[in-house]
Amino acid sequence: MSTMAGEGARIAKAPLDSMTARQKRMERYGYLFISPWLLGFFAFTFIPIAASIFLSFSRYSVLRPPEFIGLTNYRYALLGGDRLMWPSIGRSFRYAVFMVPLALTGSLLVAILLNQKVKGIAYWRTFYFLPTLTPGVASAILWGWLLNPELGLVNYLIGGLGLPTPRWFASPQWALPGIILIGMWGSVGGGSMIIFLAGLQDIPVELVEAADIDGAGRLRKFWNITLPILSPVIFFNLIIGIIGALRVFETAFVATRGGPARATWFISLHIYATAFEYFDFGYAAALAWVLVVIIVSMTVLQFRLAKSWVFYQGA
Amino acid sequence: MDLLSLVASNTLGDIVWFPPRMRNHISWGVLYNIVVDHMPFVEAENYDLGQFFPGVVASSTFQGRLYWMPFRNEGTQPVIGYHIPLAEELGMPEPHDDFTFDELIEWAKIGTQGDVWGYAMRGRGFNAWAAELKQFGVEVIDDEGVTAFPGNSVENMKKAMRYSWDLSYTHEVAPKPEHGSTSELWFAQRVVAISMNVGNMTAWPIQANVDQSDVGFFYPPVENKGDRRRSNLNEHVHGVTRSSKHPEDAWTWLKWHSSKEFNVGGILSGMVGAVGRPDVFADPRVQEAMPHYAKLAAIMPDIEPDWFALNYRGAELETESNVVMEQVMLGDLTIDQAAPLLAEECQLILDRPPA
């Protein structure tokens, strides 16, 4: 039976000048079918990205045409003119340093728990995944109430144990841990956990059985089999986690507006305020590209370091 | 953002609305060329601008050109609202309109009992406590819009900061930062009195489930008895756009929109705020329906235009004020450190080119 997929595979293999009329027609159909996505990609992703490169070298407030000013925006950002930028980046890194390991470890542990053969496991998996389905804004508002220093449930419980109650978003010292707590709630049982779960189910049974025969204990099996085989998955989640953490925005925007005293003024918030509150879109575009360069550099560094600890089966 | 999109796509229509901050609405006439100079309309038909309070006209005028027409105009946080039954229950005497700062603190001390504070300021961004700053002699920007904290303003700012600090820490009559930012829901529940603008006068009692007739109003304090009462203008404006295809018709509509009858009708039908013209406040229908507007009427003749940032970066100044004041109230900065730092940070913002 001839299928579209089979036809597509033949077209992909055929050199352009040797394609039959039918193959060429099928190719045109292919482009036709993906054209809605292509149009959306160009209109809403590619062109804005390209425009933002140009805008980063401009003075632009939306209210008048962009004016090319060369490297002025980048000089202002990188050479200390903007006294908020580097501290904002520092805060984003501080958030990432705590958030990424906690979220990775938490979601791996939850994935291991949800990989057990126990009754009702499908319900448990659903239960743990539910927080991820809550929109970030809604969860930030919810946690804003829970962490209210005076009326919140969290401090009510902590106080009930006779412990000192943090001031959370009213305190510069406790605001960042509060934001991390919200982030953890949304990410421990989220996409990372699902990917870990898939990775765990992909571990060859024969390796585990061989280890059992050799008398290996649970910890030894975890350390010598599970972790090495999961390492590509851990690496993937690490990369995604770092990128996500450095872009932290909505929880801080809703819960603290960057305060108190700029304790949660992350770089994404700085970019947002510059663009949408101060209408300095040109400079905001430059800040965004500085963030892109930092994230790409971090990712390249991770790929280099990965050679020493990521194990690919069959590689 | 909707407005910006319309401007960027040149589909703004005939008239545009704007809520200025530190007179950044002037940029829409001078820098961005979006609204027209309305003075030719005024001169062509001898339209009387004297029907508005002088500060209202001055706020939208730059270098002799009138870029906007008034719509809602009020002093920023020009009154303090208090919950009459709660104040009586706590044994607080009836407040009066010529409190000094010290007298207000003494009054608030009586009401500070248990979980209730006697008084709370609305906030500590420049706009939220402009009335207090003016009374202490603080000018955030000079008249030209280029110098932050001119003259004695840094020293005067220290006095204003000290007052704010004393409310919470020395006399403990107002919430501290650890209690969270000032919330309208506290009004009449956890604070007896709170500084308000016109919108708050109407909205907060409803939100706090308090009957409007239970809310009394008095003026923010002055430094010394007999000091002239000062406040900045907080407003919404409308203007004819440069892209208008019917500028004459748009001007006719604007005149009606800024007229006495439109605004009296608006107030009577529940519109929050009042246009900046004496005859609206003097209208018997308004006086009967909104007796608390009498407090505004008395201060509007002396109302001053908001501080003017020549590079139109007023929103950034506002953020800076909030941050530095948070640091002061959290004890991270001393007042002697904070006032010059705030001046320095504001100057850096004013030295930048317009966006």
List pLDDT tens digits, range B2-36. 777 787 777 889 999 999 989 999 999 998 889 99
CA distance A89 to A67: 27
B83 in Cβ contact with B187 (< 8 Å): yes
Whether B162 is in a domain gets the answer yes
- Residue B340 belongs to some domain of the structure: yes
Evaluate if residue B270 carries a pLDDT over 80. no
Cβ neighbours for B280, distance < 8 A, ≥ 6 positions apart: B260, B263, B264, B267, B274, B286
Most confident of B41-55, B226-240, B257-271: B41-55
Q: Which residue has the tokens 């907080």?
A: B234
**Rounded (5°) CA angle A188-A169-B111:** 145
Q: Is residue B278 part of a domain?
A: yes
More reliable by pLDDT, B71 or B180:
B71
Q: Are B296 and B302 in contact (CB under 8 A)?
A: no
Q: How far apart are CA B286 and CA A3, in angstroms?
A: 78
Comparing CB atoms, the residue among A62, A170, A172 nearest residue B4 is A62
Say which amino acid occupies B67. Answer: Y
Amino acid (one-letter) located at A170 = A
Enumerate the residues of chain B whose CB falls inside 8 A of the CB of residue A281: 355
Q: Which two tokens stand for residue B277?
A: 């013209």
Give me the DSSP letters along B68-121: -EEEEEEESS-EEEEEHHHHHHTTPPPP-TT-BHHHHHHHHHHH-BTTBEEEE-
- Residue A46: in which H helix or E strand, if any? none
- Segment B244-270 shows an average pLDDT of 92
**pLDDT confidence of residue A1:** 42
Q: Distance of alpha carbon B340 from its chain centroid, rounded? A: 24
From the list A269, A86, A287, A291, the residue with the least C-alpha distance to A179 is: A269
Closest Cβ opposite residue A59 in set B32, B316, B353: B353
Phi-psi region of A314 (alpha: psi -120 to 50; beta: other; left: phi over 0): left
* Cα B142 to chain centroid, rounded: 18
The answer on pLDDT for B272 being more than 50 is yes
Domain annotation covers residue B334: yes
ipTM above 0.85 for this complex: no
Q: Which residue has the higher pLDDT, B266 or B38?
A: B38
Q: Are B113 and B211 within one domain? A: yes
B102 and B181, same structural domain? yes
A314 Cβ contact partners less than 8 Å away, ≥ 6 residues apart: none
Kindly state whether residues B9 and B155 are assigned to the same domain.
Answer: no
Is A251 in contact with A182 (CB distance < 8 Å)? yes
Of A169, A259, A278, the CB nearest to B315: A278
Which residue has better confidence, B41 or A8?
A: B41
**Span B236-245, average pLDDT:** 93
| Whether residue B239 sits in one domain with residue B187 | no
- pLDDT above 70: percentage of residues in chain B: 99
Same domain, B95 and B242: no
- Asked whether residue B242 falls in the same domain as residue B126, the answer is no
**Strand B117-120 with B79-83, pairing:** unpaired
B231 neighbors B130 (Cβ within 8 angstroms): yes
Same domain, B256 and B327: no
Q: A26-40: buried (b, 16+ CB within 10 Å) or exposed (e) per residue?
A: bbeeeeeeeeeeeee
Write out chain A's pLDDT in tens, 315 residues: 445 555 555 555 556 667 888 988 999 999 999 999 999 999 999 999 999 999 999 999 888 889 999 999 999 999 988 999 999 999 999 999 999 999 999 999 999 999 988 888 889 888 888 888 888 899 999 998 899 887 889 999 999 999 999 989 988 899 999 999 999 988 888 889 999 999 999 898 898 899 989 888 889 999 999 999 999 999 999 999 999 999 999 999 999 999 888 999 999 999 999 999 898 999 999 999 999 999 999 999 999 999 999 988 766
Give the per-residue pLDDT at A109.
94
Closest CA to A267 of A279, A255, A253: A253
* Structure tokens given for B201: 């006068």
The DSSP code sequence of A171-185 is SHHHHHHHHHHHHHH
Chain A positions contacting chain B at CB under 8 Å are 59-64, 83, 148-150, 167, 169-172, 259-262, 273, 276-283
In a domain, B288, yes or no: yes
Alpha-carbon distance A61 to nearest alpha carbon in chain B (angstroms): 6
Q: Give contacts of A171 with chain B, Cβ < 8 Å.
A: 177-178, 330
User: What pLDDT is recorded for position B213?
Assistant: 85
- Domain shared by B200 and B121, yes or no: yes
Can you give the C-alpha Rg of chain B in angstroms? 21
Over residues B158-181, mean pLDDT:
91
Which of helix, strand or coil describes residue B339? helix
Specify the amino acid at residue A1: M
Q: Structural domain of residue B151, as residue ranges?
A: 79-230+311-350
Q: What's the total number of domains in chain B?
A: 2
Select the residue from A56, A63, A262 to test the B interface by mutation, using most B Cβ atoms within 10 A.
A63
Whole-Å CA distances, B263 to A79, B52, B235, B271: 52, 13, 14, 9
Helices (H), chain A: 4-13, 21-41, 47-55, 72-78, 85-113, 121-133, 136-146, 153-160, 172-187, 191-201, 205-213, 218-221, 227-246, 250-255, 267-272, 281-306
Asked whether residue B355 is domain-assigned, the answer is no
- Whole-angstrom distance, CA of residue A190 vs CA of residue A177: 20
Number of Cβ atoms within 10 Å of the Cβ of A298: 16
Q: Dihedrals φ, ψ of B216, to 5°?
A: -105, 160
Nearest CB among B5, B313, B327 relative to A278 is that of: B313
How many C-beta neighbours within 10 Å does residue A278 have? 22
Q: Which of A61, A67, A82 to mutate against chain B (most B CBs within 10 Å)? A: A61
CA separation for the pair A202, A226 (Å, rounded): 10
- Tell me whether residue B14 is in a domain: yes
Q: Is the pLDDT of residue B206 over 80?
A: no
CATH code: domain of residue B157: 3.40.190.10
**CB B29, CB B65: distance < 8 Å:** yes
User: Beta strand B117-120 with B191-196: parallel, antiparallel or unpaired?
Assistant: parallel
Residues 6+ apart with CB under 8 A from B298: none
User: What is d(CA B64, CA B74) in angstroms, rounded to the nearest whole number?
Assistant: 23
Give the residue numbers in B contacting A (CB under 8 Å), as ranges: 1, 4-5, 7-8, 27-28, 31-34, 177-180, 313, 315-316, 319, 322-323, 326-327, 330, 332, 345, 348, 353-355
User: A83: which chain B residues are within 8 Å (Cβ-Cβ)?
Assistant: 345, 348
Q: For residue range A25-73, what is the model confidence (pLDDT) as tens digits? A: 999 999 999 999 999 999 999 999 999 999 999 999 888 889 999 999 9
My answer on whether B253 and B147 are in the same domain is no
Under an 8 A CB cutoff, do A150 and B179 touch? yes
Q: How many CB atoms lie within 10 A of CB A140?
A: 21
Both B320 and B189 in one domain: the answer is yes
> Both B250 and B130 in a single domain?
no
The span from the CA of A147 to the CA of A154, in Å, is: 6
Indicate if the pLDDT at residue B197 is higher than 60. yes
**Contact list, B319 vs chain A (CB under 8 Å):** 273, 277
Can you give the pLDDT at residue A253?
A: 94
Distance from CA of A60 to the nearest CA of B (A): 6
Residue B27 lies in a domain: yes
Asked whether residue B175 falls in the same domain as residue B226, the answer is yes
Residue A2: its pLDDT value, please? 45
- Dihedral angle sign, alpha carbons of residues B337, B103, B231, B219: positive
Out of A63, A170, A280, the one facing B180 most closely (by C-beta) is A170
Q: How far from B316 is each of A133, B149, B233, B291, B347, CA to CA, in Å?
A: 35, 15, 19, 36, 11
What pLDDT sits at residue A7?
Answer: 55
Q: Got the DSSP string for B250-300?
A: HHHHHHHHTSHHHHHHHHHTT-SS--S-HHHHH-HHHHHH-TTHHHHHHHG
